[in-house]
Amino acid sequence: MGADGTRRTVQRASEIGLGQTGIRLEVHETKPSDSGSTQPDDEPNGDEDGARRERTEVDSDEKDVAFTLITGLRDDDRREAVYKLLMEIADRIDEQRTSYFQVTMTLRVDSSIAEPIAGSIRAAGATANVRDT
């Protein structure tokens, strides 16, 4: 959606700022429909394919936690620290103390476990990209 409210189609990576250090995103304004639900102005029935967008209410006691971690895992202490971090996140999700989750992850794994991990990624509703290094 352009700043002028016109729907845009992306033709080249440069049109979305791929490779740039930052991106500016704006929240779409919403309006109540006749049924009382809130939908984006430009898509009264949800996504283009008809699927409803999942909306999450934000509790005033919530905080966003964001980080970037790029590390090797050959060192035992580093591997343990990453494992503890992932378990901490998993525990908070299990306790329902996390209302939103966004992750981009690249793992270099033994080829024998790539497809099973990709299957778990697909089961979680994401697209897995498995390729040779």
pLDDT in single tens digits along all 133 residues of the chain: 666 777 777 766 656 655 555 555 666 565 555 555 555 444 444 444 444 445 456 667 899 999 999 999 999 999 999 999 999 999 999 999 999 999 999 999 999 999 999 999 999 999 999 999 8
Number of domains in the chain: 1
In-domain check, residue 73 = no
Is residue 82 one of the residues assigned to a domain?
no
With respect to residue 90, please indicate whether it lies within any of the assigned structural domains. no
Name the pTM for this structure: 0.53
Question: Per the domain annotation, does 1 fall within a domain?
Answer: yes
Task: List all residues 6 or more positions away from 89 whose beta carbon is below 8 Å from its beta carbon.
Answer: 98
Residue 125 covered by a domain? no
**DSSP string for 29-53:** PEEE-TTS-EEETT-TTSSTTSPPP
**Are 45 and 58 contacting, i.e. CB atoms less than 8 angstroms apart?**
no
Q: Find, among 99, 97, 102, the residue nearest to 124 by Cα.
A: 102
Residue 29 lies in domain: 1-55
Q: Is residue 28 part of a domain?
A: yes
